[in-house]
Amino acid sequence: MTDYWDPLIERMPVDELKKVQEEKLVQLVNYVYNHSPFYKKRFDKAGISPDDIRSLADITRLPFTTKQDLRDTYPTGMFCVPQKMIVRYHASSGTTGKPIVVGYTQNDIKEWTISLSRALTSIGVGREDVVQVGYGYGLFTGGLGLHYGAEMVGASAIPTSSGNTERQIELMQDLGSTVIACTPSYFLYMSEVVNKLGLNFKDDTKLKCGVFGAEPWSQEMRQRIETQTEIKAYDIFGTSEISGPLFTECTYQDGIHIWADQFLIEVIDPKTGEQLPDGERGELVVTTLVKEALPLIRYRIGDLTVINSEPCKCGRTHPRIMRILGRTDDMIIVRGINVFPGQVEAVLLTIPEVAEHYQLIIDRMGELDTMTVQVEVTKDVFSDKISDLMRLEKKVGKSLKTVLNLSAKVELVEPGTIPRSMGKAQRVIDKRKI
């Protein structure tokens, strides 16, 4: 059984979909040129006139937009509409440099909500569901984004936000939540609390699935969550610059559906900026086709992924991006080797003795970078024989070395000592100060 929110669009033949995109791209380029002084200047400088863009292939002639552009034009320098058209603002937390402010017109909110309605419908969420929204509400887009989507599909939204975990679990039981939306690391923490209370999701709640995102998580983490809690774990993707959480996988869990009538995606080589063909791993670039307040042309989101344009088994024809394992910003360089926390996670979670919580500590001893991987020993496997524990350390170190081609020091730590997160987990502590 597959349900669609908008079957005509979601199953539109690919060539028709491309035509829609082409029309919208041409309109968009004219729109930003005429409404955003920033883009006018940028196009003029690159010697591009809106008339040069006539087909989808022409998109490669357009310059990229970066996060730095949004910071440089803080707060609203790239907006295409005056304040009176704006009905909402969100802003990034701004841990590095100035925050990024995103404005929405009434129609932007509507399109955002439509995108999530299609996504939630594709994982079987509808009127019969109670959606507990454990993403933060506020300047962060996660909470309100999911909230509007859940309401639009007719589900009952519970705006718990993150934190106050025992209360969350109580509400989950009392109101019969069937869906939880939060970061995967917060859900792991919630599971720990559920166990501590002597409960389990299967017998004591009605939870059937989780919508997890806002931080990269691996396929191995999904398997752990699904086996331990017996719920389906779906990946959700989106970032505040392009609205917020927008896209999910469908029940086939084979890539995240990107609504092509709203967004045009490309994957590029992060070094050369060249567009890469389907199936090749590169940096995701998004052009917002229908946004009014803050449309973005070829925005370099920073996530590394692969596009699959084959129609999905669910019948949807829109392109999919395969699970996102990291962002160019998350990448750390240790002794000249690129390391993504997601890779480390994937390695660790294939080892059954290792718990789901881990942290990477990067430091420098003299001229040499060091990477320490802290992992928690699970209570079930604790052996009082030192040799068993040292064997486990060696096993973890060896698996990491095989995959990363990098020697890491493995440190076993007590369960519960790696900080738990209510939002995005801090997996990497980089102590190198150069």
Partner 1 sequence: MENKMIKQISVFAENKPARLEKMTEILKLANINIRAFTIAEAGDFGVLRMVVDKPDIAHRQLNEAGFTVSETDVLGVEMSDSPGALHEIAHILGSNNINVDYAYAFVTATQKALLIIRVDNISNAIAVLGNAGVALIGMKEVEKI
- What are 339's strand-pairing partners? 332
Find the shortest distance in angstroms from Cβ 311 to Zn ion: 8
Q: Which does 274 bind (CB under 5 to 8 A by kind): partner 1, Zn ion, none?
A: none
Instruction: Identify which range of 14-22, 47-55, 249-257, 279-287 contacts Zn ion by CB under 5 A.
Output: 249-257
Which residues between 388 and 407 bind partner 1 (CB under 8 A)? 389-390
Backbone angles phi, psi at 388, to 5 degrees: -65, -40
Angle of helix 219-229 relative to helix 341-348, nearest 10 degrees?
40
377 makes contact with partner 1 (CB under 8 A): yes
Total residues contacting partner 1 (rule CB under 8 A)? 17
Between 119 and 422, name the residue whose CB sits nearer to Zn ion: 119
Find the shortest distance in angstroms from Cβ 385 to partner 1: 6
Between 219 and 372, name the residue whose CB sits nearer to partner 1: 372
350-358: long-range pairs with CB below 8 Å, 24+: 350/220, 350/399, 351/392, 351/395, 351/396, 351/399, 352/381, 353/377, 353/378, 353/381, 353/392, 354/378, 354/392, 354/396, 355/415, 356/188, 356/221, 356/224, 357/188, 357/418, 357/420, 358/418, 358/427
User: Among residues 199, 351, 413, 428, which is the contact residue for partner 1, using CB under 8 A?
Assistant: 413
Reading the block at residue 296, the tokens are 């973005």
| Residue 193 CB-density burial (10 A; 0-12 exposed, 13-18 middle, 19+ buried) | middle
Q: How far apart are CA 209 and CA 187, in angstroms?
A: 11
Instruction: Identify which range of 46-54, 120-128, 256-264, 384-392 contacts partner 1 by CB under 8 A.
Output: 384-392
Between 14 and 413, name the residue whose CB sits nearer to partner 1: 413
Find the shortest distance in angstroms from Cβ 247 to partner 1: 39
382 makes contact with partner 1 (CB under 8 A): yes
Q: Which does 250 bind (CB under 5 to 8 A by kind): Zn ion, partner 1, none?
A: Zn ion
312 makes contact with Zn ion (CB under 5 A): yes
Q: Which does 32 bind (CB under 5 to 8 A by kind): Zn ion, partner 1, none?
A: none
User: Among residues 75, 412, 420, 430, which is the contact residue for partner 1, using CB under 8 A?
Assistant: 412
163 makes contact with partner 1 (CB under 8 A): no
∠ Cα 420 426 427 (to 5°): 100
Q: Which does 314 bind (CB under 5 to 8 A by kind): Zn ion, partner 1, none?
A: Zn ion
Q: How far apart are CA 394 and CA 342, in angstroms?
A: 20
Between 94 and 415, name the residue whose CB sits nearer to partner 1: 415
Q: Which does 312 bind (CB under 5 to 8 A by kind): partner 1, Zn ion, none?
A: Zn ion
Q: Is the peptide bond before 99 cis (omega within 30 degrees of 0)?
A: no
Backbone angles phi, psi at 127, to 5 degrees: -55, -30
Backbone angles phi, psi at 124, to 5 degrees: 80, 25
198 makes contact with partner 1 (CB under 8 A): no
Helices (H), 11-72: 14-35, 37-45, 67-72
Q: Which does 379 bind (CB under 5 to 8 A by kind): Zn ion, partner 1, none?
A: partner 1
Q: How far apart are CA 218 and CA 221, in angstroms?
A: 5
Find the shortest distance in angstroms from Cβ 156 to Zn ion: 25
Between 14 and 389, name the residue whose CB sits nearer to partner 1: 389
384 makes contact with partner 1 (CB under 8 A): yes
Q: Which does 331 bind (CB under 5 to 8 A by kind): partner 1, Zn ion, none?
A: none
- Residue 119: helix, strand or coil by DSSP? helix
User: Among residues 68, 414, 419, 429, which is the contact residue for partner 1, using CB under 8 A?
Assistant: 414
Instruction: Identify which range of 20-28, 33-41, 125-133, 376-384 contacts partner 1 by CB under 8 A.
Output: 376-384
Q: Which does 390 bind (CB under 5 to 8 A by kind): partner 1, Zn ion, none?
A: partner 1
Which residues between 108 and 127 bind partner 1 (CB under 8 A)? none
DSSP secondary-structure letter at 295? -
Q: How far apart are CA 13 and CA 33, in angstroms?
A: 30
415 makes contact with partner 1 (CB under 8 A): yes
334-342: long-range pairs with CB below 8 Å, 24+: 334/362, 334/369, 334/371, 334/406, 335/368, 335/369, 335/406, 337/404, 337/405, 337/406, 339/371, 339/404, 339/406, 340/216, 340/304, 341/216, 341/427, 341/428, 342/216, 342/217, 342/218
314 makes contact with Zn ion (CB under 5 A): yes
Whether the CB-CB separation of 18 and 59 falls below 8 Å is answered with: no
Q: Which does 31 bind (CB under 5 to 8 A by kind): Zn ion, partner 1, none?
A: none
Q: How far apart are CA 236 and CA 256, in angstroms?
A: 7
Reading the block at residue 65, the tokens are 């937009």
Between 250 and 362, name the residue whose CB sits nearer to Zn ion: 250
Residues that bind Zn ion (CB under 5 A): 250, 252, 312, 314, 316
Residues that bind partner 1 (CB under 8 A): 377, 379, 382-387, 389-390, 411-417
